[in-house]
Structure 1
């Protein structure tokens, strides 16, 4: 373990699949889990702060979508992806829920881009082999 990495962080990353797989899974998990924080903050803060929490949730969703898309661009072909990465990229369509919660239509559309690209690249790879 590197000297600047804590044992807890290392255990979480290892449990999530390690490396790029863990990064892809975190790009999906964090925006989904942030919905709870968003609702709690919106419930307990003054009404004037609600737009701040809405835009914070939208920023977290955007970061998740862009992170998953960036990971796909680094590993576009199914046969060359690390084990578990295809699944992590396909389930990124769950980013639809946090985008819908805040009414963020670019996030709603963006949540489907990476899963469609993953499916398309797998189909293209299969047809090239046939």
Structure 2
């Protein structure tokens, strides 16, 4: 990336949908990919480091869940969301897998909150229009 190019206009961010859509997708992708890194680190490091990697994975999952919740709080209504954001918010249920891998039960519950809120806001918007 050239030094004068802003991060928001980089090729990766543009390819992920740009702006808030890219942020929501990264909140889902990073914890899911970090599972592989977690297993590799656990396999090659001494047993005394395993709790460190476990809590690092839990922190990454928590950051992803909080990021998606924050984005939903900023864009609660489907009709006012940027294109692709609803899909990115609904796919955040995949954060369930990294939370289950690390037995992080608050993460398991938290991973289901955003998709339920998105579905609930879509239903509320439909009833409000009818």
What are the equivalent positions in structure 2 for 1:1-130 lying under 5 Å apart?
Answer: 3=4, 5=6, 10-130=10-130
Structure 1-normalised TM-score? 0.95
List runs of 5+ in structure 2 lacking aligned partners: none
How far apart, in 1, do the equivalents of 2:17 and 2:3 lie?
A: 18
* Count of aligned pairs: 129
In the alignment, structure 1 segments of 5+ residues that lack a partner are none
Hey, what's the Cα distance between the residues in 1 that align with 2:12 and 2:36?
20
SS in 1 for 2:6: coil
**Shift in Å, 1:3:** 1.8
Q: TM-score, normalised by structure 2?
A: 0.95
